[in-house]
Chains A and B, each alone.
Chain A
């Protein structure tokens, strides 16, 4: 299958993908969306529904091997490293301007640890500033990734009480893992611990959200894991299509409940992103 890259001028993210392909000796054709605008425009018109636009425009590079279209350096490299196996732990980056996110170490499938570590290394060495996420699972892998020193910001997302982890995160949470993850996260210079009001498919498959009472259970679990009720945590809702937006005043009941265990819990305001 031939690989086509659509790139932008002076695009660091594009350069990282090109270098990776070159190192592996994989041939590809590249079109610059400005220099080769007719080609790109035709491609864009034909594939508009499959192409993602971030808040500043089309996300480059765009990777097309005739089978899949991928955007975002992390997602493209993950695909090149492992096919679709890393999809669960490498998702779209919400960060721009030299930063990259969308990397959830806790969701890394067994057997893919080396590829995940390689991916983080490639992104950081390529010049991107890496934000790594974890949800309390896979503390061993988290330690391994952090020990490499390529992560600039560590975000620990507690996505619900332990009982909801299979439904929300797709796997069980071991409290020892959570304890170690909290310690590793707090030991990192730039870090953030969030209690995420997660959206997930509940009974019957209908979308639902973690309730304030469940958030309180999650906070109690965190407190029991770290023993520090002063732990700075931020509450933030996962916004998804199909559920009403949950922010500002609507998060106050969550904060009140969470503060029963973690007294410094605060709602994370949008401008803090």
Chain B
């Protein structure tokens, strides 16, 4: 979404009748975790935390992290995963993944967590009927990092993705290392060659490393109709992740660790994949939990932007981040038929394709949540926009984060979640006041001339009528795309 210089922030649209009303948690850039109501009133701000993401659990608990390792030495290593109560007290933490001694810093345990975690009781970390995450017991899955060497992938040091299951005492009881499954991902030879030369190299100290897969979401499948029908690939304990650097989404068998289902990294190999189209740099893939509309389908925020390994091309001279697209898509995919069953793309947003498509575009971060009334809460993260759409694509709530950072001068927000009021008993149910969309045709800032304030108009003889979009550069919706 291209912002103009001046634009409103906060909640800009709200239709209480059509929304799934509740509280929304998001990361205010360089401020902390903000829990707000539908009108944008902030009911609690946990200052200083750096949730990637922040999640709210029943009882008003915040799941988050207390900061990140110095980027000179690694990439996006969160120091811990913590459960914090309403008053800011840490009631649970995990940090004992690795004891880190970086130059200039005192040695300490670090979770090296990044991008996601899930608490037992709920597969995805957001509201689903009858599946509340535990808050006083239970295991937690944590997506983390561990450095690795694997000459089958590259001779460079790898920043490998790691999934840890930790118990309530913070002890690791299960782990899965991504690099050990390289051969299961199905890379073609060209991408393998690029990956070997440059596994998404990051210039860390004392040695650079390749953030080769960059998994950015991790959730459990939970109970689902596919497994109930006998498809073992969708065992409720299995874990779904996506690796944005490889354009791949896959399901890990919890018992064997093997990849049992995948989407990507190549989208040209079957008619079904061609119909889905290239999924690029995606985020927050997860199976819609049982009890919610669309249960069993897989939601993916297909960022576009840049992602994947392939042979060098004009847009990717070394073959890294080889697939490119300048708009995003939210896809709901039937994982058995391998078919898109619902989507929110620039077309559904009402933007002329492809010329105006980049108005729905977040090339990194982002996510989406299926709500009980069938709406979808979408985080278009790079520009701090969170909005709720109905199944027929009408925007019924929209929020633009006002929080722009000093260190990172963007109002980005990683991933927002909506939680039911009942999960936060500390907040008295707020008054829900409708916010009608501004009429941007006539809206003016103070000092600007009003719409229609026109000194003169004339009619020019001989003008032909205005035509369709095929008169534009590049392409239009009127072109035959076959």
Contacts and interface: CB of A to CB of B under 8 A. Distances in A.
B99 A255 contact: no
Contacts of B474: none
Interface in B182-237: none
B201 to A, nearest CB: 26
B443 interface: no
B99 A264 contact: yes
A252 B175 CA distance: 8
Contacts of B174: 249, 252
Contact of B175 (A249, A259, A264): A249
B463 interface: no
B272 interface: no
A259 B97 CA distance: 10
Interface string A212-233: 0000000000000000001000
A232 to B, nearest CB: 11
Interface residues of A, number: 10
Interface string B78-107: 000000000000000000100101000001
B168 interface: no
Q: Is the interface of A mostly helix, strand, loop or mixed?
A: helix
Interface string A127-159: 000000000000000000000000000000000
Interface string B467-478: 000000000000
B171 A263 contact: no
Contact of A253 (B99, B101, B107, B171): B171
B223 to A, nearest CB: 24
Interface residues on B, range: 10 to 19
B173 A259 contact: no
Interface string A241-273: 000000001001101110100011000000000
A252 B109 CA distance: 17
Nearest to B169: A256
Given A263-B99, A264-B99, A255 B172 contact: yes
B177 to A, nearest CB: 10
Nearest to B96: A259
Contacts of A255: 172
A256 B175 contact: no
A253 B171 CA distance: 7
Instruction: Identify the interface centre among A249, A255, A264: most chain B CB within 10 Å of its CB.
Output: A249
Interface string B143-179: 0000000000000000000000000000111110000
A252 B99 contact: no
Contacts of B173: 249, 252-253, 256
B39 to A, nearest CB: 46
A259 B109 CA distance: 10
A252 B107 CA distance: 22
Contacts of B99: 230, 259, 263-264
B21 to A, nearest CB: 42
A263 B99 CA distance: 6
A253 B174 CA distance: 9
Contacts of A256: 96, 171-173
Interface of B: 96, 99, 101, 107, 109, 171-175
8 contacts: A230-B107, A249-B174, A249-B175, A252-B171, A252-B173, A252-B174, A252-B175, A264-B99
Given A249-B174, A252-B173, A263-B99, 8 more contacts: A230-B101, A230-B107, A249-B175, A252-B172, A253-B173, A256-B96, A259-B99, A263-B107
